[in-house]
Amino acid sequence: MIRHRVDVAVIGGGPAGLIAAAAAKENGAERVYLLDRNHWLGGILPQCIHDGFGVGEMGESLTGPEYAEICLERAEKLGVTIMNETMALNLEGTSITAVNREGVHRIEAKSVVVATGCREKTRWIAMIPGTRPSGVYTAGVAQAFINLYNRMIGKKVVILGSGNVGLIMARRLKLEGAEVIGVVEILPYATGLPRNVVQCLEDYNIPLLLSHTVTEIHGQERLEGLTISQVDEHLKPIKGTERYIECDTLLLSLGLLPENEFLKSAGALLDPRTGGPVVNQDLETSLPGVFSCGNSLHVHDSVDMLAEEARLAGKNAALYGMRKGPLKVIEVLPGQNVSYVLPQRIDRSGKVVISLRARTTMKEGALLSVSDERKEIFRKKLRSAIPSTMIRIRVDITEDVLNGEKLEVDISER
Ligand SMILES: Cc1cc2nc3c(=O)[nH]c(=O)nc-3n(C[C@H](O)[C@H](O)[C@H](O)COP(=O)(O)OP(=O)(O)OC[C@H]3O[C@@H](n4cnc5c(N)ncnc54)[C@H](O)[C@@H]3O)c2cc1C
């Protein structure tokens, strides 16, 4: 066993991990290690070759690889020790067991940041019946084949699910010469960002078929076709609406699942609404000294949105131990028309950024409010509230608010 003693250890070398590691250095941590199982760094970004990254964060529109390169250079320049091709296996307190070609490592850290990203939902999670031919991919795997390995995946493509990766791949496949028959979405609205619906589908005349789903996969060796059906308001297929579509490729863009087996087996409390850990305003999980950020904390709309959180996690990991323990903890709960809120706990006064998503679409304007048992403490008018667009607000948590038991976040019609 190779032993290391460090101040902060970061697991995951995607944008979240790289930004958190740099922030830990900038906030005084001397020995900062960053572990990633891949031989490259940047996580999923090297395969996202389109531009649009960093607009909010860096003031210019970069490709995924360019954005990742900037994050990596910054971390290296600040002196972060990078261990790639290193798989973190388990976490006990703030000690990590990891393995690479050199052997088994025990990294004893004062604090840890977990930034392990997410994985895509598969056909088996969506429980799509039918045969098991080739030609069925998740959108991210198809993106890797085309953008990293220069392999075309098919000629006649249907995309199930209107998540961002699927929308981006619809455009990519069209540009590569495939026939993109359409994007089929079970919900009555697209789940990807509105700007991606316009730029990736409408600009390329790719149809979006809402309130429909794939009800059967056909083909033996290779996919030959799909049955699609309209769904009712309970998302159940309506009998008699089935129609057959001939195609050789199905891409699944059904959403992302935060990857947290690691934290789960270490005993961290997870939030079933986000799939990530329960955290406080410092992004510290229920395990003392263990912080979380990036897509393993909750799925972000874009990489720019996670940079601010990653910096917060890295900074707080560096400062861990310098702050007094909490005197009082209040819970933050999703209320009317809110699917989740983050952080789920607050234990210190000050400005706190709360991230949340609406449960349903309100296009005509909405009112967002935060209240405790006694009164409303925050109110904001929203032009609209759409589940696919994350909402972030900055709320002043006073000592008086901390005297309550819980906060509830609601979105109502204006
Ligand atoms: C397929 C896909 C396509 C996307 N396309 C876009 C896009 O086009 N535009 C956009 O704005 N956003 C896109 N996103 C979202 C964006 O890329 C993410 O918001 C961002 O990459 C998340 O960063 P992250 O650091 O949290 O995770 P990731 O980039 O996923 O990085 C996580 C890292 O953790 C490592 N890791 C995990 N477990 C371990 C372990 N046990 N030990 C060591 N290392 C580990 C992984 O190897 C990986 O490198 C996409 C996401 C996916 C999944």
Structural domain boundaries of the chain? 1-120+256-323, 122-254, 326-414
Q: Atom 18 in ligand 1: which residue has the minimum CA distance?
A: 303
Q: Which atom of ligand 1 is nearest to the CA of 117?
A: 27
At 321 the pLDDT is 77
- Would the CB of 105 count as within 6 Å of ligand 1? no
Distance 222 CA to ligand 1 centre (A): 30
Q: Which CATH class is domain 1-120+256-323?
A: alpha beta
Separation of alpha carbons 19 and 375, rounded Å: 37
Q: What span, in angstroms and rounded, lies between the C-alpha atoms of 334 and 265?
A: 26
Pick the CATH number of 326-414 from 1.10.101, 2.40.50, 2.60.40, 3.30.160: 2.60.40
Separation between Cα atoms, residue 354 and residue 370, nearest integer Å: 10
Residue minimizing CA distance to atom 1 of ligand 1: 140
Amino acid (one-letter) located at 91: L
Decide if 122-254 and 326-414 have a common fold.
no
295 lines ligand 1 (CB under 6 A): yes
Question: 396 CA distance to ligand 1 centroid (A)?
Answer: 31
Q: Is 258 in the pocket of ligand 1 (CB under 6 A)?
A: no
Q: What pLDDT was estimated at residue 64?
A: 94
Burial class from Cβ neighbours inside 10 Å (0-12, 13-18, 19+) for residue 4 reads middle
Residue 27, classified by CB atoms within 10 Å of its CB into exposed (0-12), middle (13-18) or buried (19+), is middle
- Ramachandran area for residue 177 (φ above 0: left; ψ -120 to 50: alpha; else beta): left
- Domain 122-254 belongs in CATH node 1.20.1250.20: no
- Does the model's pTM come out above 0.75? yes
User: Can you tell me which atom of ligand 1 is nearest the CA of 15?
Assistant: 25
17 lines ligand 1 (CB under 6 A): yes
Q: Report how far residue 302's alpha carbon sits from residue 310's, in angstroms, rounded to the nearest whole number.
A: 13
Predicted confidence pLDDT, tens digits, the chain (414 residues): 999 999 999 999 999 999 999 999 999 999 999 999 999 999 999 999 988 888 877 788 899 999 999 999 999 999 999 999 999 999 999 999 999 999 999 999 999 999 999 999 988 887 888 999 999 999 999 999 999 999 999 999 999 999 888 999 999 999 999 999 999 999 998 988 888 999 999 999 999 999 999 999 999 999 999 999 999 999 999 999 999 999 999 999 998 999 998 899 999 999 999 999 999 999 999 999 999 999 999 999 778 789 999 999 999 999 997 777 777 899 999 999 999 999 999 999 999 999 999 999 888 889 999 999 989 999 999 998 988 889 999 999 999 999 999 999 999 987
For ligand 1, whether the C-beta of 88 sits within 6 Å is yes
Q: Is the CB of 15 under 6 A from ligand 1?
A: yes
Ligand 1 binding pocket includes 163 (Cβ within 6 Å): no
